[in-house]
């Protein structure tokens, strides 16, 4: 039996789509509102790309993993490098997680492919009404339900009734602002320059995912997609330099050649420059308005945890909303959602991404040496490597959240 009033999910990003699919799978009808239209939905700038084991298990529950695997790159290993002397510090292999997960690897698969496949499944689901080219502008709530205000592509206003409204709108959430929830944290002064190149870095010993420590210019290097093969490198940039100067082809060639000397130009396929925030919403819900994904927390992409932890919010919330709407639990369940997922956002995602950046950017030679020795010891000892990977793969954060009542 389906619950009567739909849950209104705002935003067909990875979090909104996973939430819609997980709710529908639990017999809860959903109205999914997305401001982009079918014509420009796939034109979004490249963002997340690393999908960790815990997330792959969740994708599998809604039939999404099978669609993504053929379009992605299986990456069982990742490496830490020291750019100062060009040496490999440590390599971690997800194979040590073979008893912890059915997916002992990361799937490199772009956000755009995830939402393209998830949207197709959502559109075909009888319990999901997908409203493309519809912009959410605000909502009102009462003890009985919510009324969402939206406008269509022509600017015509409309109201939609629902049981709850979930903001999966991303960092600029209208719901969060309407509920007057503070977005606590900070923004790094330096922006990150992300350059996409057609070049096989494997010939230099790199694996699919690489973290490169350097007191001057740390970076991350990922096998991003293929075929045709594309790699992405992220560099921190000088806050004083303007975007035009940073993304000039000659400046990007020089930066790439400082990273890896080459006797010809790199084939640059794209670039973007973005600000990096570390913020968590003070509350994840007020009454019938709920936050999930980037609308609830944003973090540095080092470690690839934003999309992943947002998808984990979605599945946690879907279980609780379904039980409430089917009369099997009361609304206090939503407070548990906040306790569990806010704890993960603060204690795992924020703490780990801040640590990841510090580790790569460390300037003190003695601390760098200590950090690198520690990484080496962790990688060489299977028990420690497993502990390390349980953390980076977000399995530990899910297990810990389950223990929070």
Binding residues for ligand FAD (CB under 6 A): 10-16, 33-36, 47-50, 111, 135-136, 168-170, 174, 194, 274, 293-294, 301, 304-308, 310
Q: How far apart are CA 388 and CA 92, in angstroms?
A: 9
- Of 36 and 334, nearer to ligand FAD (C-beta) is 36
Task: Tell me the three state secondary structure of residue 119.
Answer: helix
CB 220 to ligand FAD: min, Å: 9
CB of 14 to ligand FAD, least distance (A): 5
Least Å from the CB of residue 140 to ligand FAD: 16
| Best CA proximity match to 231, nearest among 207, 261, 257 | 207
Taking the least distance from each CB to ligand FAD, the nearer of 62 and 368 is: 62
Q: Rank residues 129 and 374 by Cβ distance to ligand FAD and give the closer one.
A: 129
Strand-pair category, 77-82 with 209-213 = parallel
**Dist CA 23 CA 39 (whole Å):** 26
Which residue lies nearer to ligand FAD by CB, 111 or 230?
111
Strands (E), 132-197: 135-141, 146-151, 157-162, 165-167, 183-187, 192-197
Angle between helices 306-325 and 395-402 (to 10 degrees): 30
Taking the complex as a whole, how short is the minimal distance between the CB of residue 383 and ligand FAD, in angstroms? 27
Instruction: Note whether 29 and 160 are within 8 A (CB).
Output: no
| 28/305 with CB nearer ligand FAD | 305
Q: What is the DSSP string of 81-96?
A: EETTTTEEEEEEEGGG
- Nearer of residues 16 and 104 to ligand FAD, judged by Cβ: 16
Shorter beta-carbon distance to ligand FAD: residue 3 or 148: 148
- To ligand FAD, the closest distance from the beta carbon of 173 in angstroms equals 7
Bin 226: left if φ > 0, else alpha if -120 < ψ < 50, else beta: left
Q: Which tokens belong to 281?
A: 């919403």
Residue of minimal Cβ distance to ligand FAD: 13
Query: Which of left, alpha, beta for 272 (phi over 0: left; psi -120 to 50: alpha)?
Result: beta
Q: Tell me the β-bridge partners of 221.
A: 210, 233
Residue 195 C-beta: closest distance to ligand FAD, Å: 11
What share of residues in the chain are helix, strand, coil (percent, to 5)? 40, 25, 35
| CB of residue 331 to ligand FAD, shortest distance in Å | 23
- Pick 49 or 289: Cβ nearer ligand FAD: 49
Shortest Å distance, C-beta 42 to ligand FAD: 11
Select 372 or 393, whichever has its Cβ closest to ligand FAD: 393
Q: How far is the CB of 177 from ligand FAD (least distance, A)?
A: 10
Q: Which helix (H) or strand (E) holds 50?
A: strand 50-51
Give me the half-sphere count of Cα atoms (radius 13 Å) on the Cβ side of residue 263: 0
Burial of 85 (C-beta count, 10 Å sphere; 0-12/13-18/19+): exposed
β-strands 7-10, 30-33 pairing:
parallel
Length of the chain: 405
* Residue 57 CB, nearest approach to ligand FAD (Å): 15
Closest separation in Å from C-beta 369 to ligand FAD:
28
Of 88 and 171, CB closest to ligand FAD: 171
Query: Which ranges constitute the DSSP H helices of 103-248?
Result: 111-124, 174-178, 243-246
Indicate the residue among 194 and 207 with the shorter CB distance to ligand FAD.
194
């Amino acid at each position: 039996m389906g619950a009567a009033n739909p849950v209104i999910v705002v935003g067909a990003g990875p979090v909104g789509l996973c939430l819609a699919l997980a709710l529908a799978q639990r017999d809860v009808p959903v109205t999914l509102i997305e401001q982009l239209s079918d014509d420009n939905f796939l034109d979004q700038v490249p963002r997340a790309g690393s999908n960790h084991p815990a997330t792959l298990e969740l994708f599998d529950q809604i039939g999404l993993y099978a669609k993504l695997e053929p379009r992605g790159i299986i990456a069982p290993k990742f490496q830490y490098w020291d750019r100062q002397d060009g040496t490999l510090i440590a390599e971690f292999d997800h194979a040590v997680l073979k008893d912890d997960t059915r997916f002992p690897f990361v799937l490199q698969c772009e956000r755009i492919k995830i939402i393209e496949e998830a949207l197709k499944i959502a559109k075909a689901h009888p319990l999901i009404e997908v409203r493309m080219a519809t912009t959410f502008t605000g909502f009102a709530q009462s003890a009985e339900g919510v009324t969402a205000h939206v406008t269509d592509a022509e600017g015509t206003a409309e109201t939609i009734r629902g049981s709850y409204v979930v903001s999966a709108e991303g960092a600029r959430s209208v719901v969060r602002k309407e509920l007057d929830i503070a977005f606590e944290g900070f923004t790094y002064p330096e922006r990150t320059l992300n350059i996409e190149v057609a070049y096989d870095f494997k010939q230099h010993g790199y694996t699919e995912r690489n973290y490169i420590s350097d007191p001057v210019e740390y970076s991350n290097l990922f096998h991003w997609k293929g075929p045709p093969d594309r790699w992405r490198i992220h560099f921190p940039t000088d806050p004083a330099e303007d975007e035009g100067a940073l993304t000039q082809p000659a400046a990007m060639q020089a930066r790439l050649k400082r990273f890896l000397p080459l006797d010809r130009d790199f084939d640059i396929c794209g670039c973007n420059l973005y600000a990096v925030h570390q913020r968590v919403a003070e509350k994840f819900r007020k009454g019938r308005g709920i936050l999930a994904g980037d609308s609830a927390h944003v973090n540095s992409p080092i470690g690839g945890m934003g999309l992943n932890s947002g998808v984990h919010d979605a599945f946690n919330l879907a279980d609780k909303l379904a039980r409430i709407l089917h009369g099997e639990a009361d609304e206090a369940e939503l407070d548990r959602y906040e306790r569990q997922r806010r704890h993960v956002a603060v204690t795992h995602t924020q703490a780990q991404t801040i640590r990841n950046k510090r580790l790569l950017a460390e300037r003190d030679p003695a601390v760098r040496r200590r950090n690198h020795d520690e990484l080496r010891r962790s990688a060489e000892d299977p028990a420690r490597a497993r502990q390390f990977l349980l953390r980076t793969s977000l399995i530990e954060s899910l297990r810990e959240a389950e223990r929070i009542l």
